[in-house]
Structure 1
């Protein structure tokens, strides 16, 4: 018999704890996704328009991140990354800093997302008809103006499907942070299930919360995609 009272928002129910875990999950997913998108833009520009060294560095970055399992990357970045930062701070005479789990989680997810975003955005930029960029340069637009007024708006319709998929991946990748002890939705679900022994109840509840995030995200993404494609000729 399922004891639904265990999902109550107030103790002894665990509903409030699950919602706090969901809020932490969304914070990391949004922060990591935005950081990954910024890395992706500069990574794509570096691959397309950078010099040989920049292109090689971006190629190494995207190849390594996409080749190594994400769980291994998270462990490396979470532990080795914070240790390296404190060592660098020690070299300049600063004491070690206690990096919050939220900041570390956003950084880790952002670095992983950045490699995939780089390839998505690079492909979207290459899909822009060359004549649009050539016309902008012919009118004397600066590279920054071409990027802001031509490249980014023109590549968005091609990039949104891939970036939307990366957003959904980011929401699920946050569950991997449970291995380093960050209290996101998966970890608090395991804690609630282990304490009450109601494993089916709490894991179904967590699955329902992830599904709700996905359904809401799909609705928002659909609206954004339709808006970005206004003025596009429909295939006959």
Structure 2
């Protein structure tokens, strides 16, 4: 039992690594998508709309299978067309990070767009009046204020993204879910109810990560809400 549990704990590092990597990708894509949707250029608006609409309209599992297996087929086809026997193998960890980040970048797009729109327009206009560039105004005036508005939705997206990392098990990555499934299969006949025990342990690990995340993000919300008057309900 101890050996199996320790092996599952090794998958915890993989899950955390995929989650944090995907979060960085999603945040960058979310900022880019929000900028596109708020741009004065029509073609950028269309790009942002298509990205957020199409990605959110297709199940995460479909994107994982499409981008990983479909991407590998595409790489092999290109390599064969260039005269090689086969193309390089796509790393499952990289594929998991990029795919989940790509998917949740669409959700972050709407989170950041709404947060930016919540910052009074006069803040940016004041910065421009003082001769600040648009980028400098955004970095020094808009971004610090939008964080407060973005954090609640950002927290929800992070929690969902974290649980979505279980999908990397379908592409062979040794995460919590995959190792729990393997442990349950290997211990069948040795430990009564092994599959249920190890999957329950996996669930507890996910619950532990999400609980710690909530504590940290709630602390961040309080910090960015200092001086903000709240209504009484």
- TM-score, normalised via structure 1 length: 0.89
- How far residue 84 of structure 1 moved from its aligned partner, in angstroms, is 3.7
The equivalent residue for 2:179 is 188
- Give the conservation status (yes or no) of the 8 Å contact 2:168–2:175: yes
Q: Is structure 2 residue 102 aligned with structure 1 residue 111?
A: yes
Q: What pairs up with 1:133-144 in 2 under 5 angstroms?
A: 133-144=124-135
The equivalent residue for 1:221 is 217
Q: Is structure 2 residue 50 aligned with structure 1 residue 60?
A: yes
Query: For residues 132 and 57 of structure 2, what CA distance do their matches in structure 1 show?
Result: 38
Q: Is structure 2 residue 169 aligned with structure 1 residue 178?
A: yes
Query: For residues 62 and 205 of structure 1, what CA distance do their matches in structure 2 show?
Result: 35
**Which segment drifts farther, 127-136 or 78-87?**
78-87
The equivalent residue for 1:73 is 63
Aligned with 1:46: secondary structure?
A: helix
Query: For residues 107 and 59 of structure 2, what CA distance do their matches in structure 1 show?
Result: 13
> Aligned pair in 2 of structure 1 residues 59, 74: CA closer, same or farther (>3 Å)?
same
**Which segment drifts farther, 224-233 or 81-90?**
81-90
The equivalent residue for 1:148 is 139
Unaligned runs of 5+ in 1: 1-5
Q: What pairs up with 1:151-162 in 2 under 5 angstroms?
A: 151-162=142-153
Query: For residues 57 and 89 of structure 1, what CA distance do their matches in structure 2 show?
Result: 30
Q: Which of residues 202, 206, 209 in structure 2 aligns to 1:206?
A: 202
- How far residue 93 of structure 1 moved from its aligned partner, in angstroms, is 8.9
Query: For residues 111 and 67 of structure 1, what CA distance do their matches in structure 2 show?
Result: 13
- TM-score, normalised via structure 2 length: 0.90
Query: For residues 204 and 127 of structure 2, what CA distance do their matches in structure 1 show?
Result: 48
- Count of residue correspondences: 226
> Aligned pair in 2 of structure 1 residues 93, 141: CA closer, same or farther (>3 Å)?
farther
- How far residue 235 of structure 1 moved from its aligned partner, in angstroms, is 2.4
- How far residue 187 of structure 1 moved from its aligned partner, in angstroms, is 0.8
Query: For residues 47 and 82 of structure 1, what CA distance do their matches in structure 2 show?
Result: 31
**Which segment drifts farther, 73-82 or 157-166?**
73-82
Q: Is structure 2 residue 39 aligned with structure 1 residue 49?
A: yes
In angstroms, what is the RMSD of aligned CA positions? 1.9
Unaligned runs of 5+ in 2: 189-193
